[in-house]
Amino acid sequence: MSMSKPPLLSVDNLTVDFHSAAGAFRATEGVSFSVDAGETLVILGESGSGKSVSASAIMGLIDTPPGEIVSGAISYRGEDLRTASEARRRAINGCKIAMIFQDPLSHLNPVYTIGWQLAEVFTAHRKASGEEARKRSIEILRRVGLPDPETRIDWYPHQFSGGQRQRIMIGMAIALGPELLIADEPTTALDVSVQAQILELLKDLQREEGLGIIMITHDLEVAANMADRIVVMKSGRIVEEGDARKVFDHPEHAYTRQLMSALPAHQEGDGPERGATEEPVLTVSHLCKSYTLSPGLFGGDPRVLKAVDDVSFTLKRGETLGIVGESGSGKSTIARVLLRLNDATSGEALFHGDDILKMDRRELLAFRRRVQMVFQDPYSSMNPRMNVFSIIAEPWKIHKDILPRAKWEARVAELLALVGLNADHARRFPHQFSGGQRQRIAIARALACDPEILVCDEAVSALDVSIQMQIIDLLGDLRDRLGLSYIFITHDLPIVRNFADRILVMKSGKVVEQSRTEELFRAPKDQYTRTLIEAAPKPKWEAASAA
């Protein structure tokens, strides 16, 4: 009787604790899964579900202490990795099992060229050195689609875009020909078109090399695009697993059904069925913002970068305008210029008839009370030494005529309730909240001034998909109840499909298209808009049937 071949990797009953002064926290409990060669297993779940802890345990990257693998087995082709010697683990990591991390910039050394760092992969494992290592590094960069690798091999990490840095990280991971690739949120911070390129690159490498892939993500669309099988995690446990299409089309666990209900494909429509008033609150005409770039160390003529180039639009009372485009398109620059965080080069921006760009200090203070901003990362926009009460009440110290001090406590409680939090949260500090809760606090702080316009700059892009929908639903409810107008800036078109009344699409500082949401999705006029819409990941089974 023949023995069945063991899977490429198997994890059995993995339980991990982290110890602190407050006691032990169980990060994973009884986690079991396996992956075969040529297969893609997606581990799906929200932040804190135990996805990355499971991956770190596989790679032997859990710091002990404070972490502790309480129980469980991790096997590579039947070999127990937990009992393997350090020398054996070093031989497996990189050569047989490799990992791609979420943020390539924090995992690339800024003081060394990417060529040096790639060559180190070969020299550390004694596979090549000197000119041979450099030659192999150039070939790896060419393989992952980096333009002009012979020149760019001598560049530093900061000289590359986010997508290019991720390609470099993938190159490092595949340099020694591993059999298993663990990709931990490899596309979370990328624009949708760059994300599509990275996912296609991973598929190409899998077809060429027969790689097994474990992809960790909270993005449902990415999961559907990549997965053969899916494991769904919540609070450190596996709540559902199975064939990808079955999990997506017929989820069994209540948590999985909750996740799937937040998938943009399940919410497609023709934009919000509401009517904004015809009264314009903001009229922007021929707005321009240019930067003069210095020639650098080696001389030459300075260059002019047009970050915003002749942009015009109108925002009506109660309307949501989505501004969409990839990184570097000028979206955030528009927001910063409108709030006078940067000065415009030319143009006009009328708020109730008054030109924002010509306001003096006193006028600007009054204007900023009526127009507030919600940033992408609420944690970095809050003082960690201030509790929530002080954070929300801070605008009242600046704009002293809004609310007498005796009413501050009651109003903070009202604002917290408005954004779905409790009054007792007011005495806590930012680090004691989840990302979604911190974003709610940021919205409460913005509302403290009773603004007319909220500018949301990538306000949900760093959040889990179900939290994204909660925040968007909250913003929509506040818009309808308070008559707010929104400028909603994002690189993700599906996010704004059911939220924005109109969408303005930007590329390289210019507006390439603007129209009502339903018109833009039904019949996009510009090729770039069509590219953005088509770049959204499609389920793997749909792509297979189309082929």
21 within a domain of the structure (yes/no): no
> For residue 406, is it within any domain?
yes
Domain final residue pick, 161, 177, 193: 177
**Would you say residue 6 lies in a domain?**
no
* Confidence label for 290 from pLDDT (cuts 50, 70 and 90): very high
CA proximity to 180, closest of 323, 58, 43, 22? 58
Stretch 434-457: mean pLDDT = 90
Mean pLDDT confidence for 140-146: 89
Question: Which stretches of 484-523 are DSSP H helices?
Answer: 493-496, 517-522
Cross-strand bridge partners of residue 183: 100, 215
> Is the confidence at residue 265, as pLDDT, over 70?
no
Could you tell me if 284 and 173 lie in one domain? Answer: no
Residue 1's pLDDT is what? Answer: 43
With beta carbons less than 8 A apart as the criterion, state whether 144 and 167 touch: yes
pLDDT computed for residue 465 by the predictor: 78
**Token pair 């446990």 in the structure block, residue:** 237
Contact 502, 479 (CB under 8 A): no
Q: How many angstroms separate the CA atoms of 520 and 325, rounded?
A: 14
Given a cut of 60, is residue 177 above it in pLDDT? yes
Whether 313 maps to a domain, the answer reads yes
Q: What is the pLDDT of residue 126?
A: 87
* pLDDT for 268 beyond 80: no
Q: What is the pTM of this model?
A: 0.78
- pLDDT of the residue at 453: 96
CATH number at residue 502: 3.40.50.300
Domain that includes residue 172, residue range:
97-177
**Is the same domain home to 412 and 536?**
yes
Average pLDDT, the chain: 89
How do residues 81-133 score in pLDDT, each as one tens digit?
A: 999 999 999 899 989 999 998 777 778 999 999 999 999 999 988 888 899 99
Task: Collect all residues with Cβ–Cβ distance below 8 Å to 54 and sequence separation of at least 6.
Answer: 11, 14, 16, 28, 31, 43, 216, 233
- Note whether residue 152 is domain-resident: yes
The pair phi, psi for residue 228, each rounded to 5°, is -90, -45
Structure tokens at 486: 């929104």
Among the three residues 177, 212, 238, which one is the final residue of a domain in this structure? 177
- Comparing CA positions, the residue from 327, 344, 348, 336 lying closest to residue 506 is 327
Q: For residue 491, which of 325, 337, 355 has the smallest C-alpha distance?
A: 325
pLDDT at 336 over 90: yes
Q: Which of 43-57, 132-146, 227-241, 296-310 has the lowest average pLDDT?
A: 296-310
Instruction: Cite the DSSP H helix spans in 71-191.
Output: 86-92, 104-107, 114-124, 130-143, 149-152, 162-174
Whether the per-residue pLDDT at 51 is higher than 60: the answer is: yes
Other beta carbons within 10 Å of 2: 4
Chosen domain end from 140, 156, 177? 177
Residue whose tokens read 């997508």 = 163
In the predicted structure, residue 161 carries a pLDDT above the cut 80: no
Run of H or E including 312: strand 303-316
Contacts of residue 218, defined as CB under 8 A and 6 or more positions apart, other chains included, come to 44, 45, 46, 47, 51, 185, 188, 464, 465
Q: Using one digit for the tens of pLDDT, what is the confidence trace for 375-407?
A: 877 777 889 999 999 999 999 999 988 899 999
Over pLDDT 70: what percentage of the chain? 94
In a domain, 108, yes or no: yes
Q: Are residues 306 and 446 in the same domain?
A: yes
Q: Quote the tokens at residue 491.
A: 């690189």
Q: 3-class SS at 248?
A: helix
Contact 10, 34 (CB under 8 A): yes
| Half-sphere exposure of residue 384: CA atoms within 13 angstroms, side-chain side | 4
Written as six digits, the tokens of 213 are 């892939």
Confirm if 483 and 318 have CB atoms less than 8 A apart: yes
Count of domains observed in the chain: 2
Residue 145 covered by a domain: yes
The reply to whether 156 and 287 lie within a common domain is: no
At residue 285 the predicted structure's pLDDT band, cuts being 50, 70 and 90, is very high
Q: What angle do CA 114, 115, 116 make, to 5 degrees?
A: 90
- Looking at the fold, whether 157 and 285 belong to one and the same domain comes out as no
In a domain, 163, yes or no: yes
User: Where residue 2 falls among pLDDT bands split at 50, 70, 90?
Assistant: very low
